[in-house]
Amino acid sequence: MNFLEYLIGADARTALMGRMMQKMGVDRQLKVVADHIAVTNRAVDRCRSCGHQDECAAWLDETEHADHPPAYCRNDDLIARLQTIR
């Protein structure tokens, strides 16, 4: 894998994270938590290191509403915490 392929893949995983936050209804909450830039960067890092991109993309495409992300989601704890902020 060359550097460009890495960047394209990393960008795709970042997009999946954004879609997951929107699907779970916590994208706005992520922007208002204390130290939101660092929290977001850690969430992006977890998503980028995940090996379930294909399953995640399919889940996001097929799921209209869910209370919880799929079990393999590395940001499930963060999403659960964000869901308590209304």
Instruction: Read off the pLDDT of residues 2-46 as tens digits, 9 standing for 90 and up.
Output: 544 544 455 777 889 999 999 999 999 998 999 988 999 899 999
d(CA 75, CA 17): 9
Q: How much is the pTM?
A: 0.83
User: Which residue range(s) make up the domain with 73?
Assistant: 3-83
**Number of domains within the chain:** 1
Position 9 scores a pLDDT of: 56
Position 8 scores a pLDDT of: 47
